[in-house]
Amino acid sequence: KKVTCPPGQLREQVRNLSGYKAQPEFLQKITWLTLQHSPLIKKIDTVRAFHFGTSFLVEVEIILPETMSLKQAHDISDGLKNKLESISEVERAFVHLDYGVDALAY
């Protein structure tokens, strides 16, 4: 038996399954939540989100003070990861930590 699907729906499903990037509005939401998470976050270096089926994989890189303890940095990272994963559209979140921005890498 042949399975049919409206062309628009098929196009959307292929896009979502292929890791298509999230819309700017969704990235803004992730950025705002990240900024509000802790006053110790000095800067957000990267925010990315890609379709993962019907949800998103989210990746953020935050800049923390160089002198911060590992425990405190880990607690901030873990809390932010949990906060992002509590969003219904997010399947998985990855939080990367750094203490400075390497301008030559960008």
Strand 43-52 relative to strand 55-63, pairing: antiparallel
pTM summary value: 0.78
Residue type, 52: F
- Nearest CA to 26 among 94, 97, 87? 87
Residues 6+ apart with CB under 8 A from 55: 89, 90, 91
Mean pLDDT of the chain: 86
What the chain holds in terms of domains, given with CATH numbers, is 7-105 (3.30.70.1350)
**Which residues is 90 bridged to in the sheet?**
56
How large is the average pLDDT for residues 9-34? Answer: 76
Give the tens place of pLDDT for each residue, 45-96: 999 999 988 899 999 999 999 999 999 999 999 999 999 999 999 999 999 9
* pLDDT score, position 104: 46
Give the tens place of pLDDT for each residue, 50-61: 998 889 999 999
